[in-house]
Amino acid sequence: EQTDTMWEDLDYTITGIEAGSGTTELAEDMLEDYDNLEGWDIHTSSTAGMITSLDQAIQNEEPIIVTGWRPHWIFEEYDLKFLDDPQDSLGEEEFIHTIAREGLEADKPEAYAVLERFEWDISDMQEVMLTAQDIPFEQAASDWVEENREDVDQWTEGIDSVEDEAFHLVSTPWDTERSSSHVMELVLEELGYEVTITSVDPVMMFQAIAYGEGDASLAPWLPVTFGAFYDEVEDQIDDLGPNMSGALNGLVVPEYMDIESVEDLPA
Ligand code: PBE
């Protein structure tokens, strides 16, 4: 049977990403949610490391299980599938929310109005992420803004420009959030803001907004991914609701692997 050697090669290991990420936290919980995963481990490293391992496994048609999410360009590059997760440990559909510090609406009403309107599709984010494979994110975001002028103009329509006002966006270090932050940076710059983007771990991102060190973030994946962090600061932040829907976390494997569900993994 191909499968026996397959599991030996895998050594009961799931290839993970950064230890501080939401996806990793959920995957650690997942090991406890499924009896058959008791002896399994998540090998944390980095997103780049995970992608390198995935690429190598696919070159050699070897088995591999990674923690993944969409939108991501790996789904364009390789034939991959999400494993079914009947217990929803890694969540179902996720929404990416916009959050602001308390008081932002009064302090910077123009930027706040743009943030309230900002909403885009998963295909938009995916496009920026794909373009940014070959050129810097700033350029990919700028290309997207020019190609989607009508949408962008609706976000700023009727909103007054400002002069020499600083705006601090707090983000997280993944391509999904690089895409949204750089697009928002350009949109706010068009209104006259001087925008800084700081990229930190999810837990720090929530704290920065809760303590008013940052103005806003477009990075919160909810309800599941960052649910625990969100609950801790819910009363100290202003949640403007989703800016994107259709995101998803899960265990991801190459199509050639003969498994469909987390429950198919051997104990
Ligand atoms: N991710 C997926 C983030 C949010 C969900 C890797 C882009 C994270 O895991 O924290």
Q: Is the CB of 69 under 6 A from ligand 1?
A: yes
CATH of the domain at 206: 3.10.105.10
- Contact between residue 43 and residue 28 where contact means Cβ atoms under 8 Å apart: no
Q: Is the CB of 202 under 6 A from ligand 1?
A: yes
Q: Which of 175, 206, 221 to mutate to test the pocket of ligand 1 (most atoms within 8 A of CB)?
A: 221
In this structure, the answer to whether residues 193 and 220 fall within a common structural domain is yes
Q: How far away, in angstroms, is 51 Cα from ligand 1 center?
A: 14
In this structure, the answer to whether residues 218 and 242 fall within a common structural domain is yes
In this structure, the answer to whether residues 61 and 84 fall within a common structural domain is yes
Whether 224 has a pLDDT exceeding 90, the answer reads yes
In this structure, the answer to whether residues 111 and 146 fall within a common structural domain is yes
pLDDT tens readout for residues 62-119: 999 999 999 999 999 999 999 999 999 998 999 999 999 999 999 999 999 999 999 9
Amino acid at 124: D
Confidence of residue 5 (pLDDT cuts 50, 70, 90): confident
pLDDT tens readout for residues 11-62: 999 999 999 999 999 999 999 999 999 999 999 999 999 999 999 999 999 9
**DSSP 8-state class, residue 36:** G
* Average pLDDT along the chain: 96
Whether 231 has a pLDDT exceeding 90, the answer reads yes
- Contact between residue 253 and residue 206 where contact means Cβ atoms under 8 Å apart: no
Find the domain containing 36 and state its range: 2-92+249-264
In this structure, the answer to whether residues 237 and 109 fall within a common structural domain is yes
pLDDT tens readout for residues 120-174: 999 999 999 999 999 999 999 999 999 999 999 999 999 999 998 999 999 999 9
Closest to 265 (Cα-Cα) out of 36, 83, 11: 36
pLDDT of residue 1: 46
Whether 183 has a pLDDT exceeding 90, the answer reads yes
In this structure, the answer to whether residues 41 and 103 fall within a common structural domain is no
Q: How far away, in angstroms, is 86 Cα from ligand 1 center?
A: 20
Q: Is the CB of 174 under 6 A from ligand 1?
A: yes
* Beta-bridge partner residues of 1: none
Confidence of residue 6 (pLDDT cuts 50, 70, 90): confident
In this structure, the answer to whether residues 171 and 213 fall within a common structural domain is yes
In 191-254 the beta strands, taken as DSSP E runs, fall at: 193-199, 216-217, 221-222, 237-254
Q: How far away, in angstroms, is 225 Cα from ligand 1 center?
A: 7
Token code pair at residue 136: 């810097």
Q: Is the CB of 225 under 6 A from ligand 1?
A: yes
- Could you tell me the end-to-end alpha-carbon distance of the chain, in angstroms, rounded to an integer? 17
Neighbours of 258 (CB within 10 A): 12
| DSSP structure string for 143-208 | HHHHHTHHHHHHHHTTPPP-SSEEEEEEE-SSHHHHHHHHHHHHHHHHTTEEEEEEE--HHHHHHH
pLDDT of residue 164: 87
Q: Is the CB of 229 under 6 A from ligand 1?
A: no
In this structure, the answer to whether residues 99 and 182 fall within a common structural domain is yes
The protein residue whose alpha carbon is closest to atom 7 in ligand 1 is 174
Amino acid at 24: T
In this structure, the answer to whether residues 98 and 88 fall within a common structural domain is no
Burial of 214 (0-12, 13-18, 19+ CB in 10 A): buried
- Contact between residue 87 and residue 33 where contact means Cβ atoms under 8 Å apart: yes
**pTM of the predicted protein model:** 0.95
Confidence of residue 2 (pLDDT cuts 50, 70, 90): low
In this structure, the answer to whether residues 148 and 85 fall within a common structural domain is no
In this structure, the answer to whether residues 106 and 220 fall within a common structural domain is yes
Segment 219-244 shows an average pLDDT of 97
* Beta-bridge partner residues of 242: 97
In this structure, the answer to whether residues 142 and 11 fall within a common structural domain is no
Token code pair at residue 242: 């989703």
CATH of the domain at 19: 3.40.190.100
Overall domain count for the chain: 2
